[in-house]
Amino acid sequence: MPDAWFGVYDRLLVFDHDSGRATIISTGVDEAGQPNLDRARRRAEEWQRKLTVKVVLPSSAQLLIPVGRGVPPSRSGRIGETGARLGGTPRPTSLAHFEGAPALESNLTREEYEHAIRRILDYIAAGDVYQINFSQRFRARTVAGPEMLYHALRTANPAPFAAYLDCGVGQVLSSSPERFLQIRGRSIQTRPIKGTRPRTGNEQADQKAARELMMSAKDQAELLMITDLERNDLGRVCEFGSVHVPELVTLESYATVLHLVSTVEGRLADGVTAVDAIRACFPGGSITGAPKIRAMEIIDELEPSARGVYTGAIGYLGFNGVADFNIAIRTMVYQDGAVHFHAGGGIVADSEPALEYEETLHKARGMVQALARAEAMAAESGGVNTASRRSQG
Q: Domain limits of the chain?
A: 4-64, 86-381
Higher pLDDT, 393 or 354: 354
pLDDT band at 161 (very low <50, low <70, confident <90, very high): very high
> Residue 371 above 80 pLDDT?
yes
Query: Using alpha carbons only, what angle is made at residue 375 by residues 373 and 380, rounded to the nearest 5 degrees?
Result: 95
* Helix ranges restricted to H, the chain: 37-53, 110-125, 146-156, 203-215, 217-235, 274-281, 292-302, 353-381
pLDDT digit string, tens, across residues 66-91: 443 333 333 333 333 333 343 444 55
Please list, in sequence order, all residues whose beta carbon lies within 8 angstroms of the beta carbon of residue 165, skipping any fewer than 6 positions away: 5, 171, 172, 174, 314
Contacts by 56-60 with C-beta closer than 8 Å and gap 24+? 57/13, 57/22, 57/24, 58/22
**301 catalytic residue (yes or no):** no
> Residue 65 above 60 pLDDT?
no
- Give residue 270's pLDDT: 96
Most confident option among 200-204, 297-301, 345-349: 297-301
- Give residue 67's pLDDT: 41
Residue 264 · residue 192 · CB < 8 Å: yes
What is the β-pairing status of strands 193-198 and 244-253? unpaired
- Give residue 27's pLDDT: 86
Compute φ and ψ for 149, nearest 5 degrees: -65, -40
User: Choosing from 31, 112, 178, 359, which is the catalytic residue?
Assistant: 178
- Give residue 54's pLDDT: 60
pLDDT band at 390 (very low <50, low <70, confident <90, very high): very low
Domain 86-381 part of CATH 3.60.120.10:
yes
Question: Residue 6 pairs with which residues in a beta bridge?
Answer: 77
Higher pLDDT, 62 or 159: 159
Residue 339 · residue 149 · CB < 8 Å: yes
The rounded distance, in Å, linking the Cα atoms of 270 and 290 is 28
pLDDT band at 94 (very low <50, low <70, confident <90, very high): very low
**Cβ neighbour number for residue 273 with a 10 Å cutoff:** 14
> Residue 309 above 70 pLDDT?
yes
> Residue 129 above 70 pLDDT?
yes
The gap from C-alpha 119 to its chain's centroid, in whole angstroms, comes to 27
Across 174-203, b (16+ Cβ under 10 Å) vs e yields: bbbbbbbbbbeeeebbbbbbbbbbbbeeee
Closest-CA residue to 361 (of 191, 151, 106): 106
DSSP assignment letter at 384: -
Q: Quick one: what percent of the chain has pLDDT higher than 90?
A: 61
Most confident option among 23-37, 177-191, 371-385: 177-191
- Give residue 215's pLDDT: 95
When the pLDDT of each residue in the chain is averaged and rounded to a whole number, the result is: 85
Q: Is the dihedral of CA 388, 10, 329, 298 positive or negative?
A: positive
pLDDT band at 156 (very low <50, low <70, confident <90, very high): confident
> Residue 33 above 80 pLDDT?
no
Go through the chain and tell me how many residues it has.
393
- Give residue 96's pLDDT: 42
Residue 295 · residue 132 · CB < 8 Å: yes
**194 catalytic residue (yes or no):** yes
- Give residue 64's pLDDT: 52
> Residue 229 above 80 pLDDT?
yes
pLDDT band at 49 (very low <50, low <70, confident <90, very high): confident
Interval 254-266 mean pLDDT: 92
User: Choosing from 147, 194, 356, 375, which is the catalytic residue?
Assistant: 194
The rounded distance, in Å, linking the Cα atoms of 162 and 153 is 10
